[in-house]
Structure 1
Amino acid sequence: MHPAFSVVFFTTATGAGYGLLALLGVLGPLGFIAPDFWLGFVGMGLALGLIAAGLLSSTGHLGRPERAWRAFSQWRSSWLSREGVASVTTFIPAGLFGMGWIFLGRLDGWVAAAGVLATIGAIVTVCMTGMTYASLKPIAQWHSPYTLPGYLIFSAMSGSVLVNALLQGFALGSTIPLAASVLLTLLGWGWKLATWRYNDQLEIQTNANTATGLVGGTVRSLEWPHTEENYLLKEMGFRIARKHSAKLRRVTQALAFGLPILLLIAAFALPWPFAAVSSALAAIVQFAGMLVERWLFFAEAKHTVMLYYGR
C-alpha cells in the first residue's frame, strides 16, 4: 500500500493523543494527578492538540476534503465512519473534563465523570481506527489478530510515555509512571516483533488460479490491462525492497522502543530536571519511531487486487 504521510501522521498522532487523553481521564479522578491549572492546560492541550492535528491531517489524503463530512453518514456499515463519529463525540466529554480541570480546579464530581467518559471515548475511537484496517480482508497483513490489539497497545504505550514526560516536566514524576512507560514500551516492542514474524510467515491463499476458478493449471497474464500507471497501481501496488524494509525495521526498533527504554531507565537515576529532559526526549524519539513504524505498516501491506496485474 502507498504510505501517504497524511495517513501515517494521522495514525501516529491520534494514537498518542488518545492514549494520553485516556490516561489523564482516569489518573485525574483517581488522585494520581493534582488539579493544577498549568498541568491541566499543558496536558489536555497536548492530548487534544495531537488528536486535532491528526484528524486534520487525515483529510489531506482525500480527493475532495470538503466532502469529508459525508463519511459520518455511513456509520451503520463503515468502520471508518464509526471512527469519525467516535472521534468527534469524544471531544464533548474531553472538553468538559478539560474545562473543569483547568478553569475550576476540580477533578471530582461531574468533572471526574467527564474524564471517565473521555477515557471510554478514546479507547472506542482507537478500536474503530484499528478495525478500519483489520476488517479489510483483501489485505492479509492487516486482516489478522495482531492489528487491533496493536493499535491499543501502541496508543497506551505512547500515552504512558507522554504522561511520564508531563509529570516529570512539572517535577511530579514518580517510579509508577516511569515503570509503566518502560513495561508498556517493552510490550509494544514484543508485539511488533510478533506481528512481523506473523506477516513474514503468512501464506496468502488467494492467487490467480483461485481468483479465476481455473485450478487445472497455472494462470498467467499475457499482458497488462493497460500500459500506464493508474490509481490502483499507485495506491495498492506500492512495493518496498526487502533490504529497505529490514533497515527500516531496525530503525523502528531503535527509535520507537530501544532508545526510549534507555532514556526512561536513565530518568530513574537522574535528578530533576535531568530526569525531565530524559523523559521528554524519550517521548520525542518514540513519536519519530512510531512514524517509521506506521510507514512500514502501510508499505509492507499487499492488496490482492494486484493479482490482476500479475504481481
Structure 2
Amino acid sequence: MNPAPSVIVFTVLSGMGFGFLALLGLTGVSGTVAFFLWGLGYGLAVAGLVASAFHLGNPQRALLAFTQWRTSWLSREAWASVITLGLFAPQALSDWLGLGLGRGFGVAGAVMAGVTVFCTAMIYAQIRAVPRWHHWTVPPVFLAYAVAGGLVLSGVSVLALPMLCVLGVTLALHWHFGARAFARAGATMESATGLGRVGAVSVFEQPHTGGNYLLREMIHVVGRRHAERVRMIAMVFSVLLPSLALAWLSGGVAVVVAAATYLIGALAQRWLFFAEAEHVVGLYYGRR
C-alpha cells in the first residue's frame, strides 16, 4: 500500500496523544503544569485527527465519516475520538482549576481512549484483502504504541521501561506473523481470477498502458533489504533508545530525548506498516 504521510502522521500522533491523555486521566496533575500537560495531550491527539482529513478525497466532507457508524470502523473511530475528547475536557479543567471533580471523567476518558485506538487499528485489521493487516497482532501494536508513547511523555521510567519491552515483543510478533501472512492466506493468480481449475495463470498483457489508482495506492513494493533496515530503525528508536534515555538521563532531558527517538521509531514502523502491506489486487498485475 502507498504509505501516505497524512495517515502515518495521523496514526502516530493521535495514538501517542490519546495514550498520554489516558495517563493524565488516570493519575492527574494540578495547577499550571496541568494546563500544559493536558494541552500537550490534546494537541497531539487533535493534530493527528486533523492530519487524517488530508487523506480524504474531499476533506470538506469529513463530517460524513460520522454517518456510517453501524458498518464502518472509521466512523466508529470518529465518534469514539469525539466522545473521548469530550470526557477528558471536564477532567482537564478540574485538574487545572482545582474543581475537585474526582477521577471519574478521567477513568471514563481513558477507557474511551483505548477504544479509539482500537477502532483505528480495526480500520486496517478488518481488511481481508491485505493479509498482513488481517491479523490479531495489529490492534496490540497500535495499543502498545499508544500506551508506551503516553508513558514515555510522562517520564515515569518505572512504568515506561516495562511497557517499552512489551512494545518490542509485540513488534517482533507482528513482523514474524506478517512475513508469512500473504502465503498463509492462499491468494494466488488462480484464486483471484477463478481460473485455477484450468491450470496455471499468468499475465499475458497489462490491462492498460498508463498508471491508475490501483497501481498508485494499492501496489507499493519495498525491497527486502530496505524493509529489514527500516525494521531495525523502528525497533532501535521505538524501544532501545527511549529505554536508554529514561534509564540513564534525568529530568526534562530524559523525556525530550526519549520522546524524540520514540517518535522517529514510531514513524518508521508506521511507514513500514503501510509499505509492506500486500493487497491481493496486485495479483492481477503480476506483482505478487
Fold shared by both chains (TM-score > 0.5): yes
CA distance in structure 2 between the aligned counterparts of 1:90 and 1:275, rounded to whole angstroms? 30
Whether the 8 Å CA contact 1:252–1:293 is kept in 2: the answer is yes
Whether the 8 Å CA contact 1:2–1:238 is kept in 2: the answer is yes
Whether the 8 Å CA contact 2:154–2:255 is kept in 1: the answer is no
How far did 1:214 drift?
A: 2.0
Where does residue 10 of structure 1 map in the other structure? 10
Q: Which runs of 5+ in 1 are unaligned?
A: 29-33, 165-176, 268-273
CA distance in structure 2 between the aligned counterparts of 1:92 and 1:278, rounded to whole angstroms? 31
Q: Given the alignment of the two structures, is residue 242 of structure 1 paired with residue 224 of structure 2, yes or no?
A: yes
CA distance in structure 2 between the aligned counterparts of 1:112 and 1:265, rounded to whole angstroms? 30
Matched-pair identity in % = 38
How far did 1:212 drift?
A: 2.4
Q: Given the alignment of the two structures, is residue 22 of structure 1 paired with residue 22 of structure 2, yes or no?
A: yes
Structure 2 residue aligned with 1:130, among 99, 107, 121?
121
State the Cα deviation string for residues 137-182 of structure 1 (Å, max 9, x = none): 1000110010011111111111111112xxxxxxxxxxxx212101
Give RMSD over aligned pairs: 1.2
Corresponding pairs, count = 284
CA distance in structure 2 between the aligned counterparts of 1:50 and 1:280, rounded to whole angstroms? 15
How far did 1:213 drift?
A: 2.4
Where does residue 233 of structure 2 map in the other structure? 251
Where does residue 229 of structure 1 map in the other structure? 211
Secondary structure at the residue paired with 1:238? coil
Where does residue 215 of structure 1 map in the other structure? 196
Secondary structure at the residue paired with 1:61? coil
CA distance in structure 2 between the aligned counterparts of 1:286 and 1:133, rounded to whole angstroms? 22
Whether the 8 Å CA contact 1:16–1:155 is kept in 2: the answer is yes
Q: Please list every run of at least 4 consecutive aligned residues from structure 1 whose deviation after the TM superposition is greater than 3 angstroms.
A: none
State the Cα deviation string for residues 201-259 of structure 1 (Å, max 9, x = none): 33231111112222231111111110111111010001111111111111111111111
Instruction: Kindly provide the amino acid, as one letter, of the partner of residue 298 in structure 1.
Output: F
Instruction: Kindly provide the amino acid, as one letter, of the partner of residue 213 in structure 1.
Output: G
Instruction: Kindly provide the amino acid, as one letter, of the partner of residue 239 in structure 2.
Output: F
Where does residue 137 of structure 2 map in the other structure? 146
TM-score after normalising by structure 1: 0.88
Secondary structure at the residue paired with 2:159? helix
Distance 1:132 1:115, change over 3 A: same
Instruction: Kindly provide the amino acid, as one letter, of the partner of residue 192 in structure 2.
Output: A
CA distance in structure 1 between the aligned counterparts of 2:152 and 2:79, rounded to whole angstroms? 27
Instruction: Kindly provide the amino acid, as one letter, of the partner of residue 255 in structure 2.
Output: S
CA distance in structure 1 between the aligned counterparts of 2:61 and 2:192, rounded to whole angstroms? 34
Secondary structure at the residue paired with 2:205? coil
Where does residue 65 of structure 1 map in the other structure? 59
Whether the 8 Å CA contact 1:266–1:275 is kept in 2: the answer is no
Q: Which runs of 5+ in 2 are unaligned?
A: none
Structure 2 residue aligned with 1:184, among 130, 149, 163?
163
How far did 1:5 drift?
A: 0.6
Instruction: Kindly provide the amino acid, as one letter, of the partner of residue 309 in structure 1.
Output: Y
